[in-house]
Amino acid sequence: MERAKVYYAKEITPENLIKIYEALGVELKGKIGVKVSTGEAGSRGYLKADLIGPLVKKLNGTIIECNTAYAGERNTAEDHIKVAKDHGFTSYAGVDIMDEDGEMKIPVNNGKHLKYNLVGTHLDRYDAMLNLAHGKGHAMGGFGANLKNQSIGVASRNGKAYIHTAGITEDPDELWEKLPKQEAFIESMAEAAKSVADYFEANNKKIVYITVMNFLSVDCDCDAHQSDPVMNDLGIVASLDPVANDQAFIDMIWDSKDEGAHLLQERIDRQLGRHILPYAEKIGLGTTKYELINIY
């Protein structure tokens, strides 16, 4: 497979977010869903309105999310909308909790763990998706960026349980008692992310991928007690290939001379986080080989 193009902007600004989207050379058309993490109540790292609002408005996009499998402030649509409002998302776009009216099964092709994927029924409303991820650490996945945003992030509440347990149960109440080996969970995330990509491609719909690498905490935005950043911001990466985009993020963490980078590296490797990249490549979601292109 030839190298994927990954575009890079070091300075994180609303203007550069628009420039890096335009650099991809793909115009998203129709009803556009912008998949972000709205952030658990109490978290601080979620992508802020003043940063992403101008790009979302330019696309006339709708913020799309699904409810959480864990008990918190975002496991019902009503509570989730309240958190989204508190975090400023409703100030510049509509917010759609995609599993508010239920879920649907979409195919998982050649999955080792998942027989299908469960996503919110509202996913069908959208003609295109901007997978706009916040790159950071994660307590269970090691790190979160585009692949996690498209797997756990797009899955319904039951779908999240199904991915977390590598296909054992769809019941969030059983999730924590039926956790699989870590490798199986990581691979299940890749399978779910690919199922969404395949579903969009089968319906002639486009997805583009952007990751904002700021507030680099070892914890995810889903953590109400998210710890402080452990290293300095890295910039923005964008690609049409989610595997290459996540690989670029990981490479920047490993290449960093920042004295706190080892803390994020340790969090990622403790959870086998980097395993998602070669596995996603193996199942045909994308490539880990890329060319980094500065947009300025």
pLDDT at 75: 86
Exposed, middle or buried, 15 (CB in 10 Å: 0-12/13-18/19+)?
exposed
pTM equals 0.98
* Alpha carbons 21 and 230: distance in angstroms, whole number: 27
Determine contact, residues 213/252, Cβ cutoff 8 Å. yes
Give the domain CATH number at 164: 3.40.50
242-255 vs 261-270: helix crossing angle, rounded to 10 = 130
Closest by CA to 212, choosing from 221, 204, 203, is 221
| Dihedral sign from CA coordinates of 166, 170, 174, 175 | positive
Q: What is the residue whose two structure tokens read 């054992």? A: 168
In sequence order, what are the beta bridge partners of 130?
Answer: 34, 208
pLDDT in tens, 17-67: 999 999 999 999 999 999 999 999 999 999 999 999 999 999 999 999 999
Query: Given a cut of 90, is residue 69 above it in pLDDT?
Result: no
Q: β-strand 290-294 against 4-9: which pairing, if any?
A: parallel
Total number of domains in the chain: 1
Whether 296 shows a pLDDT value over 80: the answer reads: no
User: Could you list the residue range(s) of the whole structural domain that residue 15 is in?
Assistant: 4-294
In DSSP terms, 142 is beta-bridged to 138
pLDDT single digits (tens) 267-278: 999 999 999 999
